[in-house]
């Protein structure tokens, strides 16, 4: 959960406000709320002002945050001092450009149906042994509501490419969530028409999670064999979504059979070229009910090297510690990633009865954890590194 720190609106220039946080000025878009004016106290997430808050609420939150924030910041700066190796250099760059804020988004996986047949994925349509599920609007709203109560303000709504959810239905889901909750919504629903994404944007969605998985065209076509799934089509879509105004989360799978070190460097460059707000590089983990059953996962070193290189090449990016990394190497692995340039986490808040069924790879981290337990573990980890589970950074 991103416990957003309240800021004060200092200036408003058209769609963009300047927000003051303890003397530090940041910019954020104001188009998700009405009637904003200079002097208002606001919560912003991912570069969007989400809601105004009263002077009293701001005072109370700041009372708690101010002291903790500066204490954590000092700890983070201390840990990032005197960099000697690749990971320490990447961490120092992260500290200098992004400070100690670490966003913690919630993810809700609302359907495990998929029309695609990606070779590496456990919920591919060819996996007939999987029990499938879909969540209807009331269930999705209840899941968002539960997570909001736990402090989350940014959500990824994820599914396979499931055409049961028509464009109208997806727009309805976004509208209903935004009507009830002032949260930042990222859609992760695969390849949809520009019109569908335009309508979801108009309904209040502001982010898209859509990975290209590999920048190697031949490997892409091999891994995604159905429907002439072309890399160009996907990257063009991501570019258009960025132009539409969406925050982009994208990246690749590291360790796919046949992938080279040069491919990984190209993946990092492609992620940057696509204008990603958040970079996501997850280790490939094989699933026994896929054509890639038994293929080896990459080493932790390979993932940390990728994160560190990505950070050095892109000082201002948010870089995610993926659930796949936590699945293979647990919170110790997450800690190493955070110390090698990463600065974002995700917590799965899908209702427990469905979590295991979103079986993209086996034994996903967090599947058996109570959400509150998972939050506590994440916060403890972040605090031990001087990171604030908050989101101050903006576009
Ligand atoms: S990777 Fe995505 S698009 Fe491919 S089969 Fe899995 S859920 Fe579907």
Residues 205 and 262 occupy one common structural domain = yes
Say what the pTM is: 0.93
DSSP per-residue string spanning 56-116:
HHHHHHHHHHHHHHHHHHHHHHHHTSS--SHHHHHHHHHHHHHTTB-EEEEEEEEE---S-
Tokens, residue 165? 């959810």
Q: Is 373 within the bounds of a domain? A: yes
Q: Are residues 111 and 59 part of one domain?
A: no
Structural domain ending residue among the three candidates 62, 83, 104: 83
> Would you state the pLDDT for residue 3?
53
In a domain, 389, yes or no: no
For residue 325, is it within any domain? yes
118 lines ligand 1 (CB under 6 A): yes
Phi, psi of 378 (to 5 degrees): -65, -45
Mark whether 68 and 158 lie in a shared domain. Answer: no
Total structural domains within the chain = 2
Q: Is the CB of 121 under 6 A from ligand 1?
A: yes
Phi and psi at residue 42, in whole multiples of 5°? Answer: -140, 160
Domain termination residue (choose one: 51, 83, 115): 83
Same domain assignment for residues 252 and 170 = yes
Q: Does 160 contact ligand 1 (Cβ within 6 A)?
A: yes
CA 117 vs CA 60, 110, 221, 293: distances in Å: 50, 19, 11, 14
Query: Are 308 and 193 members of one domain?
Result: yes
* Nearest protein Cα to ligand 1, atom 2: 160
pLDDT value of residue 103: 86
Same domain for 269 and 166, yes or no, is yes
Mean pLDDT of the chain: 93
Kindly report, residue by residue over 173-196, the tens digit of the pLDDT.
999 999 999 999 999 999 999 999
Q: Is the CB of 46 under 6 A from ligand 1?
A: no
Task: Report the alpha-carbon distance of residue 261 to residue 306 in Å, rounded.
Answer: 10
Q: Which of 117, 120, 122, 161 to mutate to test the pocket of ligand 1 (most atoms within 8 A of CB)?
A: 161
Looking at residue 140, its pLDDT comes to: 98
Average pLDDT for 72-96? 95
Domain harbouring 369, CATH code: 3.20.20.70
Judged on CB neighbours under 10 Å (0-12, 13-18, 19+), 228 is exposed
Q: How far apart are CA 198 and CA 205, in angstroms?
A: 9
Alpha helices in 204-317 (DSSP H): 217-223, 231-244, 261-273, 300-313
Is residue 395's pLDDT more than 50? no
Residues 319, 249 within the same domain: yes
User: How far from the centroid of its chain's Cα atoms is residue 49's Cα?
Assistant: 18
pLDDT, tens only, 244-303: 999 999 999 999 999 999 999 999 999 999 999 999 999 999 999 999 999 999 999 999
Domain ranges, residue 57? 7-83
Q: Which of 39, 55, 83 is the last residue of a domain?
A: 83
Task: Report the pLDDT value the prediction gives residue 228, as an integer from 0 to 100.
Answer: 64
Percent of the chain with pLDDT over 90: 77
Q: What is the mean pLDDT of residues 299-313?
A: 98
In whole angstroms, what separates CA 261 from the centre of its chain? 25
92 lines ligand 1 (CB under 6 A): no
Q: What is the pLDDT of residues 210-219, one digit of tens each?
A: 999 999 999 9
Residue 173 shares a structural domain with residue 318: yes
Q: Whose CA is nearest to atom 6 of ligand 1?
A: 121
Q: Is residue 392 part of a domain?
A: no
- What average pLDDT score do residues 3-23 get? 84
Are residues 71 and 208 both part of a single domain?
no
Q: Is residue 90 part of a domain?
A: no
């Amino acid at each position: 959960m991103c416990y957003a720190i309240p800021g004060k609106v200092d200036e408003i220039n058209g769609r963009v406000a300047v927000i003051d946080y303890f003397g530090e000025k940041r910019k954020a878009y104001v188009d998700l709320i009405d009637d904003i004016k200079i002097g208002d106290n606001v919560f912003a997430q991912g570069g969007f002002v989400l809601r105004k808050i009263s002077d009293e609420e701001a005072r109370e939150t700041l009372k708690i945050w101010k002291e903790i924030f500066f204490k954590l910041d000092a700890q983070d700066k201390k840990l990032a001092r005197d960099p000697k190796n690749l990971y320490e250099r990447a961490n120092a760059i992260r500290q200098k450009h992004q400070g100690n804020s670490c966003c913690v988004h919630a993810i809700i996986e609302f359907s495990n149906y998929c029309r695609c047949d990606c070779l590496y994925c456990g919920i591919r349509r060819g996996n007939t042994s999987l029990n499938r599920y879909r969540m209807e609007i009331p269930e999705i709203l209840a899941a968002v509501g539960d997570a909001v109560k736990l402090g989350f303000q940014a959500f990824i709504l994820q599914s396979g490419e499931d055409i049961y959810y028509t464009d109208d239905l997806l727009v309805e889901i976004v509208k209903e969530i935004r009507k009830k909750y002032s949260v930042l919504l990222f859609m992760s629903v695969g390849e949809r028409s520009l019109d569908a994404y335009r309508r979801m944007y108009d309904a209040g969605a502001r982010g898209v999670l859509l990975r290209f998985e590999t920048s190697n065209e031949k490997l892409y076509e091999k891994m995604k064999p159905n429907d002439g799934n072309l890399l160009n089509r996907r990257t063009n879509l991501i570019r258009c979504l960025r132009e539409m105004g969406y925050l982009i989360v994208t990246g690749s799978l590291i360790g796919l059979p046949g992938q080279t070190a040069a491919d990984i460097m190209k993946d990092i460059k492609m992620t940057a070229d696509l204008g990603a707000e958040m970079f996501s590089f997850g280790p490939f983990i094989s699933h026994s009910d896929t054509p890639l059953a038994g293929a080896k996962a990459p080493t932790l070193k390979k993932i940390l090297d990728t994160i560190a290189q990505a950070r050095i090449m892109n000082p201002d990016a948010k870089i995610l510690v993926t659930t796949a990394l936590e699945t293979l190497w647990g919170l110790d692995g997450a800690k190493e990633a955070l110390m090698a340039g990463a600065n974002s986490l995700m917590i799965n808040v899908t209702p427990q009865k469905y979590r295991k069924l979103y079986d993209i790879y086996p034994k996903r981290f967090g599947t058996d954890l109570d959400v509150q337990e998972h939050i506590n573990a994440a916060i403890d980890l972040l605090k031990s590194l001087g990171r604030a589970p908050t989101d101050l950074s903006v576009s």
